Homo-oligomer: A and B are copies of this chain.
């Protein structure tokens, strides 16, 4: 699977996003990360494995404990991807209507050209 798909798949679980939010305030051990959730440590470790495969976090052993830290790159990848669509949500509703109308007119023009080309 491509990198962006892996990243988005890792991010689509609320437990994992919550873990990332915790890590945004600094590294944490597995137990610390698991504490807020009503699930087993093993389940949280599975989530951590998913986040690590997506390179959203990295490990750093210290004795018995295993600390996790954020890795920034995939976040930027997501931001860059969604940025392409900014014009859609930033235009006012009126301007969006204009945009869609414009696109629709281009569309029917193309259709006419196709018909013309067939004749």
Contact = CB atoms under 8 A, between A and B. Distances in A.
Contact of A73 (B11, B12, B89, B103): B89
Question: Chain A: interface secondary structure?
Answer: helix
Interface residues of A, number: 41
A79 B86 contact: yes
A78 B82 contact: yes
Interface of A: 1-2, 4-5, 7-9, 11-14, 17, 20-21, 24-27, 69-70, 72-73, 75-76, 78-79, 81-86, 88-89, 91, 96, 100, 103-104, 106-107
What are the 3 tightest A-B residue pairs by CB atom distance, in nearest-first order? A26-B103, A8-B12, A72-B89
A79 B89 contact: yes
